[in-house]
Amino acid sequence: MVVLVTGANGQLGQALRYVSGNYPEITFVFCDSADLDITNKQDCEAVFDQYKPHYCINAAAYTAVDKAESEPEKAYLINVVGAKNLAETCQKHNAVLLHVSTDFVFDGSKTTPYTEEDQPNPTGVYGQTKLDGERAIQEVLSNYYIIRTSWVYSQFGNNFMKTMLRLASERDTLSVVNDQIGTPTHAVDLAEALIRIILTDCHPELVEGQQLTINNFGIYNFSNEGQCSWYEFARKIFEINKITINLLPIPTSSYPTPAERPKYSVLDKNKIKETFCLEIKNWEDSLKRILISE
C-alpha cells in the first residue's frame, strides 16, 4: 500500500515520517513543496502517475493565520486550489484523500465542544480558505476524510511550545492570553490517528466493533483530550521543564492580532473515537511525553 504525504517538511509531515517506520506494511512517499506543488495540477498528475498512491494525506497548507489577512490570494491558492487539485487527482487515480483542516472554521461562539455537524462560521481569511478547501473536496469526491484539528505542536517545525521555550530563555517575564480556550494537539498523535484511519479503511475487519457495511467517509474532529487556555498551556510547558519565569495571564484585548481567534474551539471527538476505536491521550500527558523524551 502506497501513502503519499504532501507538506512533508511541515509539522505533521515530519510527525508522519517520525512514525512511518512503525508501519512496514505501508510505503510512504513524502513530498515537500519542491517535490509536489499542490497548486499546480500538472505537478499533482505527474507525482500520482509516478507513485500510484492508494491514499494521499494532504498535510500541505497555508497556516500563517495573521499573514493570511494580508495575503488572501496566496492562502486561497494553497488551501483551496491546492485541495481541489488533489481531490481531482485522487478521483482520477482512484485514491482516497485524507485532508487536514482546522478549528478555525468555527467562530468560537459556543461554550460546549464543537461537533462535526455544527455550522462553520470562520472569522478570518485562514479559516475561510480552509473551509472553502473542505467544500472544494466535497464537490469533487465522495471518498474522502476531512480531519479538523487544533493547536498543533510537536518537536518539529515552528509552534507555540517551541516559541515558549525560546522566549523563556530570553526573558524573565512573559504575558500569554488566558481567554481563548481550546485543546493542544501533539502532531505525532494526529499522525497516528491518520494512519489508523487508513488501516481501518483498508482492513475494517481488523478493528474490533467495526461494521463492514458502514461507509466511514466524511468529516472528523481530532485533537488531544481536555481543554485549556494558551496561558495554561504555557504554564504546563514551563512546569514540566522546571523553568522558573514570571508568567502573566492577559486578555485577548491586550494582545491584538490581524486575525481574530476563536474564543472557544474545543472539538468533540466522539465520532472519530467510536468509528475507528481510537483511544486519545490527554493533552497534558502527550505534552509531558514529548518534553521528557527530548
The set of catalytic residues is 126
Alpha carbon separation from 30 to 7, 78, 139, 227 (Å, rounded): 8, 18, 26, 32
Compute CA 158 distance to the chain's CA centroid, rounded to the nearest angstrom: 14
Q: CA nearest 147: which of 272, 291, 20? A: 272
CB atoms within 10 A of CB 285: 14
What number of CA atoms fall less than 13 Å from residue 267's CA on the CB side? 29
Residue 92 phi/psi, 5-degree rounding, is: -65, -35
Amino acid at 203: H
Q: CA nearest 148: which of 66, 11, 269, 19? A: 269
Residue appearing with cell numbers 500527558: 285
